[in-house]
A and B are shown apart, each in its own frame.
Chain A
Amino acid sequence: MSKIEHLYDKYQRDVYHFALYYTNSREEAEDITQETFFKILKQLDNLKNEEKVKTWILSIARNTAVDIHRKQKIKRLLLEKLKWQPNLKEVQKPLEIVEQHEQWRIIQGALMTLKAHDRTIIICRMLKDFTIQETAEILGISEVKVRVDFHRAMTRLRKKVGRDN
């Protein structure tokens, strides 16, 4: 088994989960996962510190997610403007209305309203249970800043959930 296959088997779920929580869309999450592993394959020779492979992969996933999600959002906005009608995603199908009763959608919805930085911290710390050190490495910031920002992000999320409820 080659190195890339080994990394794919080990971290594919982590990358996919991160992308799914970040975008709340299966299609976008699949795009992000694919793009991330293509980038990993290209930069595999640059990887020197094998111990930090997990945070290295997740930081690539995070950057890819930011890029792809932004592009998709702009595309949606432009399409909306061109068509002069609301976004198709916002029109609820009957099945979706039923699914909306699933409670996790409440918190995922609140998560989507947060800033990208806050969202990433919450995904890493609360949903993927990464350590503070790992989160700091993924985001490229200090551990102290992770602690402070995580606390603030959680407060914001609680407020949002409270408001939605």
Chain B
Amino acid sequence: MKNPYAQLSNGLCFVFLDLSFFGIPDILPDFMGYLFFAYGIYLLPSFHNLKRWSKNFAIILIVVSFILELTQWLGVKTFWEIGIQFIQFLLIVFMYYLFQLLLHIHQEKPLESKTFKTYQIFMACMLCGFVFHAFAINIDAHIQKTVNFIGSLLQLFAFILFMNYCRASQRDEQKMNKPKIHSL
């Protein structure tokens, strides 16, 4: 069976990283990332309403990010620039609901504490990064770069943290699914 946490980490990789070579637009498009997210949530072992809710949210984000990607290819610059920041905010809200679901799944399990800590730091860093980027618009040019850099650094830290959490959950899941060897 495919591991849901691997899909979630793939999803965040696609959403976070933008790789463009030789004038080709992003080879890791965001909508693919949200597709991974939706699939990962579908694989998560839960019947809670939050699962349905966050999966639908991921599907909405697939559509929105696809439209945005399209505007980038078509060269509508203003709409794309505002849209990219707006979808960043939606990503944070989406991650909040995803963490609520993960907290529910890991309740009373070994990774409960790790999930909670990751949630705390991830949400704080992502939102602070977003606020830094928002205020950077109106700050003097010489400070603007530094503020933008700090904002990006905070979000990168959140990204690494989530990757680390996904790896730990993946390992835990594999350990749980390992067939037990009975001694004779």
Contacts and interface: CB of A to CB of B under 8 A. Distances in A.
Q: Do A and B bind each other?
A: yes
Consensus secondary structure, chain B interface: helix
B140 interface: no
Interface in A62-102: 66, 70, 73-74, 77-78
Interface in A121-153: 140-141, 145
A5 B47 CA distance: 35
Given A140-B49, A141-B47, A74 B107 contact: no
A91 to B, nearest CB: 21
Contact of B107 (A70, A140, A141, A145): A70
Given A140-B49, A141-B47, A116 B116 contact: no
A64 B107 CA distance: 14
Interface string A1-38: 00000000000000000000000000000000000000
- Give the most central of B103, B108, B113: most A CB within 10 Å: B108
Nearest to A114: B108
Interface string B105-116: 001100011001
Nearest to B104: A66
Q: Is the interface of A mostly helix, strand, loop or mixed?
A: helix
A115 interface: yes
Contact of B108 (A115, A140, A141): A115
Contacts of A70: 103, 107, 112
Interface residues of B, number: 8
B108 A74 contact: no
Contact of A116 (B49, B107, B113): B107
A138 to B, nearest CB: 14
A66 B112 CA distance: 13
Range of interface residues on chain A?
10 to 19
A74 B119 CA distance: 13
A74 B49 contact: no
B108 A116 contact: yes
Nearest to B47: A141
A23 B116 CA distance: 20
A78 B47 CA distance: 29
Given A115-B108, A116-B107, A116-B108, A74 B47 contact: no
A73 B112 CA distance: 10
A96 B105 CA distance: 33
Interface of B: 47, 49, 103, 107-108, 112-113, 116
11 contacts: A70-B107, A70-B112, A73-B108, A74-B112, A74-B116, A77-B113, A78-B113, A115-B107, A115-B108, A140-B49, A141-B47
Given A73-B108, A78-B113, 12 more contacts: A66-B107, A70-B103, A70-B107, A70-B112, A73-B112, A74-B112, A77-B113, A115-B108, A116-B107, A116-B108, A140-B49, A145-B47
8 nearest interchain CB pairs? A77-B113, A74-B116, A116-B107, A115-B108, A116-B108, A70-B107, A74-B113, A140-B49
